[in-house]
Structure 1
Amino acid sequence: MFQPLALFIGLRYTRAKRRNHFISFISASSMLGIALGITALITVLSVMNGFQKEVRERILSMTAHATISGVDGRLDDWRQAREVAQRHPEVLATAPFIRGEAMLTNGPTVSGALVQGILPDEEGGVSEVMGKLVVGDWNALAPGSFGIVLGKQLAAFVGVTLGDKVTVVAPQASVTPAGVVPRLKRFEVVGIFDSGLWEYDRNLALVHIDDAARLYQMEGSVSGLRLKLKDLFRAPLTAREIANALPGAYWVRDWTQEHANFFRAVAIEKTAMTVILMLIVAVAAFNLVSTLVMVVTDKQADIAILRTLGLSPAGVMAVFVVQGTTIGFIGTALGVAGGVALALNVKEAVGWLEGLLGFKFLSPEVYPITDLPSQVIPGDVVTVGVIAFTLAVLATLYPAWRAARTQPAEALRYE
């Protein structure tokens, strides 16, 4: 006979045709519930990972991995700081910038904006904004030409297009014989970019760093340095190392600090969604309790005969643990396979569903990301599978313990 005996009987109970079809239905429902819960959990986590990766890449295409700036908003010895930063093995490129707030006016239309002075020849090394231009030419952003590149939404709000003039009003004031007047300058729109992120497309304006220095009276100084690193996920550690190497007082920030609220919100949302969906898996797993309790009740006579033949209470308990574990394992395996398959093909599945219903779930008029991106992280899949299987095993313990307490004489009294 197959050994060990408990494993043989438990597997036989699992695959044998049961007399009670209701118990068979409940067992199949428990298995299917576990599979569906795991499939939903893996798919949702993968889609959330995909959204996080997509938004992170869009943010990092417009911002630097790390930034060095002066404590008072000015960096006078930026060349020295640049030499120190470039000596770090993790730094790939650096670029100076001047950043300031301003108002953009075009006739009666006024809009606040963040004006950033850049060196076009060096900006491409620290960001991908050079590839986001939809109209215009970066070569037109020359020193002294007072050209400006606007975000798509900002240009639309102000009502300007390529070749139009826009007035930039800086918060600094100039003293003239007529009194104190705000500093303003007419710029020509030489380009419009589309980053895919409303925050940048609506608020950011780019000018040459020399023109920004004249506008904000920062000749010879910059606001800071933008750094591109080899490994963006090591940015916090690298930023601290660069800060320790710099002489004097500087602000060194990395991209996780610049957008801390966003990434913290995404992490909290992902955790909450994981807990909610894991409760669904837990409910399905603990349906095994009712299934096995009914199986134990149905098999009272069989348990009594096994006990009289010498099977110990621990052996009886092992029989039903094996049966419940087998159901949980099959449900977990089906759920993991289904979840990974659906997560890898979620874009096609959603496209098919949209075609069937004639409805666009993520309208391009509302959402910047119109497709469902998905990123399957093996660690998430393993974690979900292990937790679900563990819950299924724990769910078998109480019914198996009840089966082990069955008294042969009581069970066979009416047989």
Structure 2
Amino acid sequence: MLSNATFFLARRYLRAKRSFVSVITVISILGVAVGVLMMIVVSSVMQGFEGEFRKVLIGSEPHILLHPQDHKPTAVQPVEAALSKLRAQPEVLAASSYVSSVMYAEREGSQSGMDVFGLPEDGARFYMAKIAKHRLEGSLELRDGGVVCADYIAAQLNAHANDKISVYASSNVTSAVKRFRVATDEQDEAKRHAAYKEIKLHPQELTLLGYTRAEIAGSYGYTTLKTAQQIFGFGDQVSGVLIELKQPGEVKDIMKRFTAAGLIPAGWSASLWTDAGDARLAAMSNERIMMWIVLMIIAVVAAFSVMNTTITVTTQKRREIGVLTALGSRQSQIIGIFVSQAAVVGTLGTVIGLALSGLVLWLRDDIRMGIAVLSGGNTDSASGMFLATIPAQIDPAFITLTCLGSITLCLLAALPPAWLAARVDPAVALRD
């Protein structure tokens, strides 16, 4: 009976005398709803951005590159020995040898540089299929004498699929610069002119097979292993081993297991896909932590609105509290009235905030479009571009924790004023 009376009074105090619900109750519920809405929406979008960036890295970067620590070309024999062991590992999806270096390209006076991977037939078939969905023009099927590059490289060269471009290794440029310096220091004019004439880059002609969208497929160029070896003067040597994993998110743990099992040749090191974005991923993680701190402050502010409501109600109902105490109500029962009131406010606010957050996440791109229209911004979102739409990653565990935390904060916020109200002397309360 006392419990029913507690909840009856809690519901009654939430209502105004002449309306269905009091204004301060509505404000409190909306405060809690906004806090829950902000926490869920912002956290989901932040996790979505981080998740999309990870997907881009995983989809464009080689998962693992094994190579000598000095990055010099190595003979085929140790590479083949390492490949035979690595391909037998259950974590490995595909593995092949590769050649990697910097190549400069030129066409009709326009120049550009790119990091190039030379891949054997089996590695090329698998790796190019990985980035095939990002193709913009031409073909990604590698063949000798051809190259695939990023779209901005093709734009700098003003080249399209099947156009011819002249390429030369970065080592040729370094050698030419050294010879130029020597020629410049030559005092004899005849010898100096002769030295200048000896400076040549020895370009080779390749066919541009096609190009990909750099922002989501990376900025690398790709050729066959044989073509790369010819351009860079590697002969029969290669740069190392390229590995694709079934679970690329576990790359660091997998590398530890490979190292412990002795699968990495002595004197070799590894470059992981995470290396390309470690700084950015760390920055995004720090941003998310700081955002959570801000959101927690918003949640605390919402809880203070509940506390303010409780303080207002306990002040208004001071005489009734005195009557209840005089009739024998215990302090715990008085506290229960106002904590129950806070529980109703917290639950309603949390449910409304949860519903609104789902609506906002569902309509997030439409909302972005509306804001762009009102602000005069760009409303175009090219299909296939990185983050052409607002990403969101919904974490049920985080949402559950947010909802429970919101209700708990409301209950805790109501305790101090409820406890103070329960300690009022009934004689003083009735006299006021």
Q: The TM-score by the shorter chain falls in which range?
A: 0.7 to 0.9
Say if 2:138 is the partner of 1:136. Answer: yes
CA contact (8 A) 1:148 1:205 kept: yes
Equivalent residue, structure 2, for 1:207: 223
Structural mapping, 1:138-217, within 5 Å: 138-139=140-141, 141-143=142-144, 146-173=145-172, 181-182=200-201, 184-197=203-216, 200=218, 203-217=219-233
TM-score normalised by L of structure 1:
0.87
Select the residue among 295, 300, 316 that pairs with 2:313.
Answer: 295
1:79-105 deviation digits (Å, cap 9, x = unpaired): 111122112111111132211123222
After TM superposition, give the deviation of residue 356 of structure 1 in Å: 7.9
Worse overlay, 245-254 or 89-98 = 245-254
AA paired with 1:341? L
Change (3 A) 1:281 1:235: same
Select the residue among 393, 403, 415 that pairs with 1:385.
Answer: 403
Q: Distance between the aligned counterparts of 1:340 and 1:260, measured in 2?
A: 31
Q: Distance between the aligned counterparts of 1:341 and 1:168, measured in 2?
A: 53
Select the residue among 210, 220, 237 that pairs with 1:221.
Answer: 237
Worse overlay, 301-310 or 35-44 = 35-44
AA paired with 1:19? K
Change (3 A) 1:96 1:2: farther
After TM superposition, give the deviation of residue 396 of structure 1 in Å: 0.9
Q: Distance between the aligned counterparts of 1:118 and 1:359, measured in 2?
A: 43
Q: Report the 3-state secondary structure (helix = DSSP H, G, I; strand = E; otherwise coil) of the residue aligned with 2:147.
A: strand
Equivalent residue, structure 2, for 1:68: 66
After TM superposition, give the deviation of residue 35 of structure 1 in Å: 0.6
Change (3 A) 1:87 1:57: same
Change (3 A) 1:392 1:292: same
AA paired with 2:147? I
Structural mapping, 1:224-239, within 5 Å: 224-239=240-255
Equivalent residue, structure 1, for 2:350: 332
Q: Distance between the aligned counterparts of 2:250 and 2:58, measured in 1?
A: 14
TM-score normalised by L of structure 2:
0.84
1:13-41 deviation digits (Å, cap 9, x = unpaired): 33xx32387x9212211211211221122
Worse overlay, 323-332 or 296-305 = 323-332
AA paired with 2:239? S
Equivalent residue, structure 2, for 1:312: 330
After TM superposition, give the deviation of residue 152 of structure 1 in Å: 0.9
Q: Distance between the aligned counterparts of 1:83 and 1:240, measured in 2?
A: 19
Worse overlay, 1-10 or 151-160 = 1-10
CA contact (8 A) 1:243 1:250 kept: no
> Which ranges in structure 2 are unaligned for 5 or more consecutive residues?
180-193
Q: State the identity %.
A: 26
Q: Distance between the aligned counterparts of 2:166 and 2:430, measured in 1?
A: 96
Select the residue among 17, 39, 42 that pairs with 2:40.
Answer: 42
> Which ranges in structure 1 are unaligned for 5 or more consecutive residues?
none
Worse overlay, 78-87 or 51-60 = 51-60
Q: Distance between the aligned counterparts of 1:191 and 1:384, measured in 2?
A: 48
Worse overlay, 5-14 or 185-194 = 5-14
